[in-house]
Structure 1
Amino acid sequence: MRKILKIVLWSVLVLVLVVGGLLGVFIYKVKYGFPVSYETEAPKIDFPTDKPAILLFSKTTGFRHGESIEASKPVIVGLANKNNWFVYETEEGGVFNEAQLAKFSVVIFNNSTGEVINDEQKRALEKYVENGGSLIGIHGAGDDSHHWDWYENNLLGSKFSHHPIDPQFQSADILLDAQADSLITMGIPKTWNHSDEWYVFFENPRQKGFNIQFTINGDSINPSGNILFVKDKNFGMGKDHPIAWSKNIGNGKTFYTSIGHNGVAWKNEHFLKLIENAIKWAL
C-alpha cells in the first residue's frame, strides 16, 4: 500500500513540475517571444507605379494569433482590390530597409508579436514613419513582447498590462469618441457591438496625446487577468477604455486598434470599415 502511495505521490509531483514548466515556457513566450534569426536579405518586389503600396507584415515570435492572421489576409487583399492598392504580404523582416520601406505608403503590423526585426531594421522603420510613412498595428501588435521604446511610445502610447481571463472574450458596445477623426470613423455607427479579447494597458493613450477613435465602457467588462500564481492583474482602465487610436508622428502617422484576436473580427463589417478607413487615412 505504501509503495502504491509513494508511486502516486511521485507521479503527482512529476505532473505538477511538468505542468509548471510548460506554463512557465508559455508565459515566457507570450511576454518575450522566442529568439529567432532575423531575415536581412531584401526581397525582390515588383512595385506597380499606379497604386499605393501596403506592407502587410504578419511575422510572430511570441503568441501567434494564427486564426486572425489567416482570416485577415484575404480581407485586406479584397480591400486593396476594391481601392486600387498594392499589398505585399510577408513574414520576412528583410523588407525593413530604408530603400524598400520608402516605396510603401503604409506598413501594417498584423498581429505581429515578439521581437520580429533587428535593431537596424527598427531604426529604419522609425525613420520611415518620422519622414512621412504610416504604421498601423492590429491587436497582438500592442502586447508587451516587442521591447521597443519608440514603438511603444509612438504607436501604443502606453504599456500593455494584460487581457481578461475569465471570461477571455466579452461582448461590449464600442462607442464613437467625441474627439474622433471623421476620416477614420466615417460610415461606422456611433455604437456597435463586438466580442473580443479586450487589452488592458497601464495608462490611457489619451493622456499621451493620442487621438482616440473608439472606446468601450471599461466598467461594463470583467478586466481581471488573474490566473494561477498571477494575482495582481485584477484592475482595468476604468470607464474610459480606448480600443482604437491614432497620432501624427513627425511627418508620418500611426494607428492602433486592440480589436482582432480571432477570425470573428474579420467578419464584422464595422471592424472592416475601421481598417479600410484607417488605411485610407494613413495614405
Structure 2
Amino acid sequence: MLKVLAVAMLAALTQTAPNPHLPKPTYDSVPPAVPAGIQRGVLIVSKTNAWRHLEHIPHSNEVIAGIAKDLKRPSFTTENAAVFDDAILKNFSVVVLNSASGDFMTAPQREALARFVARGGGIVALHAAGDNSHKAPWYFDTIIGATFTGHPNGPDHIQPASVLIDQPRHPVMAGVKLPWKPADEWYSFDVDPATRGMTILARIDEASYRPGDKLKMGAVHPVIWVNPRTKGRVVYSAMGHNPENYDDPNYRLILTNAIRWAAR
C-alpha cells in the first residue's frame, strides 16, 4: 500500500512539475537599470513568453555581446521587455531579439519598438523570434512577414542541410564561405516572405535534408531575409537552435555582418 501511494505521489509531482521550456508568461512594467553612458549600443533581448530555448540562449547571448565588443559598440543584455521605452532605446542603434518568443511585449512597449524602427533603429531577430507565437500585426508585418509552420522532429529534429546564398553581395552575407552545410533545427513557413515584401538573402536546399512532406516549401525555402520596407534595417535569421551554431565561423560572421549593417 505504501509503495502504491509513493508511486502515485511521484506521478502527481511529475505531472505538476513546470516545464522549463515553457515558462509562465509575464509582462514587465519596471525597466531594468541600464548602465549610464551607452551610446550607439547593441541591446540584446531574450525575453520568452512561449518556448524558451534553454540550450542556446546563455551561450548565444555571450557570443552576441562579444560581437558587439569586437564592433566597438557597448551592449546590454536583458530579459526585461520594459527596456522597450523611448528614453532607453535612444541609447541603442540595434536590438537583437535572441529567440525572444511569445507575446512578450505590452502594447506600449511594442509601440516604442515600432517608433525605434521608424526613426532608423535596426533589428536583428533570431530563430524563435520568428516562430508562430508572435501574434501582433506590427511584429508580423515588420519583423517576419511569414508564419512559422513547424520543423522536423524525432530522429530528424537536427539535420545538416545545405545553405544557398541568393544575395551574395548583400552586406549581411559578405564573406560567407560555400559549400556550407550546418546542422540545425530547420524552420518552415507558410509562404515565401518575398511575396510579402521581404528580400531573401539565403535559403535551404530541401534536397539536402529531410523536411517531411508537410514542411516542404519547394525551391525557395528561406532561412535569412531582410525587410527593405522600413526606415530601420530589419534582419531575420531562422537559424540558431543549437549552442554550437553560434561557434560556426560562417554563422558568427553573418551575425557580425547583420549587427553592423542593422546598426548602420
What's the TM-score, normalizing by structure 1?
0.81
In structure 2, C-alpha distance between the alignment counterparts of 1:205 and 1:180, rounded to whole Å: 18
Q: Is the 8 A contact 2:84 2:109 kept in 1?
A: yes
Q: Relative to structure 2, which stretch is displaced further, 204-213 or 267-276?
A: 204-213
In structure 2, C-alpha distance between the alignment counterparts of 1:247 and 1:180, rounded to whole Å: 17
SS at 1:67's partner residue?
coil
SS at 2:215's partner residue?
coil
Percent identity between the two aligned chains: 31
SS at 1:272's partner residue?
helix
CA shift for structure 1 position 180 = 4.4
Alignment-derived partner of residue 255 in structure 2 = 275
1:263 aligns with 2:251: no
Q: Is the 8 A contact 1:223 1:236 kept in 2?
A: yes
SS at 1:184's partner residue?
helix
User: Aligned letter for 2:249?
Assistant: E
Q: Is the 8 A contact 2:145 2:196 kept in 1?
A: yes
Q: Is the 8 A contact 1:265 1:271 kept in 2?
A: yes
State how 1:1-283 maps to structure 2 within 5 Å: 36-48=25-37, 52-166=40-154, 167-177=156-166, 179-224=167-212, 234-283=214-263
SS at 1:245's partner residue?
strand
CA shift for structure 1 position 103 = 1.8
In structure 1, C-alpha distance between the alignment counterparts of 2:159 and 2:72, rounded to whole Å: 36
CA shift for structure 1 position 34 = 6.1
SS at 1:244's partner residue?
strand
SS at 1:191's partner residue?
coil
User: Aligned letter for 2:144?
Assistant: L
SS at 1:105's partner residue?
strand
- Structure 1 residue ranges without an equivalent (≥5): 1-14, 225-232
Q: Could you list the per-position Cα deviations for residues 175-216 of structure 1 after superposition, in whole angstroms to 9, with x for gaps in the alignment?
A: 111x34431111111431101010000001122221211111
Q: Is the 8 A contact 1:176 1:191 kept in 2?
A: no
Count, aligned residues: 253
SS at 2:123's partner residue?
strand
SS at 1:234's partner residue?
helix
Q: Is the 8 A contact 2:23 2:52 kept in 1?
A: no
User: Aligned letter for 1:159?
Assistant: T
In structure 2, C-alpha distance between the alignment counterparts of 1:43 and 1:168, rounded to whole Å: 36
CA shift for structure 1 position 250 = 3.0
CA shift for structure 1 position 121 = 0.6
Q: Is the 8 A contact 2:197 2:229 kept in 1?
A: no
Alignment-derived partner of residue 229 in structure 1 = none
CA shift for structure 1 position 111 = 0.7
CA shift for structure 1 position 47 = 4.2
In structure 2, C-alpha distance between the alignment counterparts of 1:47 and 1:271, rounded to whole Å: 31
User: Aligned letter for 1:173?
Assistant: S
Q: Is the 8 A contact 2:199 2:228 kept in 1?
A: no
Q: Could you list the per-position Cα deviations for residues 117-138 of structure 1 after superposition, in whole angstroms to 9, with x for gaps in the alignment?
A: 1111111111211121111111
Q: Over aligned residue pairs, what C-alpha RMSD do you find?
A: 2.6
Alignment-derived partner of residue 11 in structure 1 = none
User: Aligned letter for 1:189?
Assistant: K
SS at 1:66's partner residue?
coil
- Change in 2 beyond 3 A, CA 1:72/1:79: same
What's the TM-score, normalizing by structure 2?
0.87
SS at 1:117's partner residue?
coil
Alignment-derived partner of residue 8 in structure 1 = none
- Structure 2 residue ranges without an equivalent (≥5): 1-10
Q: Is the 8 A contact 2:23 2:51 kept in 1?
A: no
User: Aligned letter for 1:48?
Assistant: G
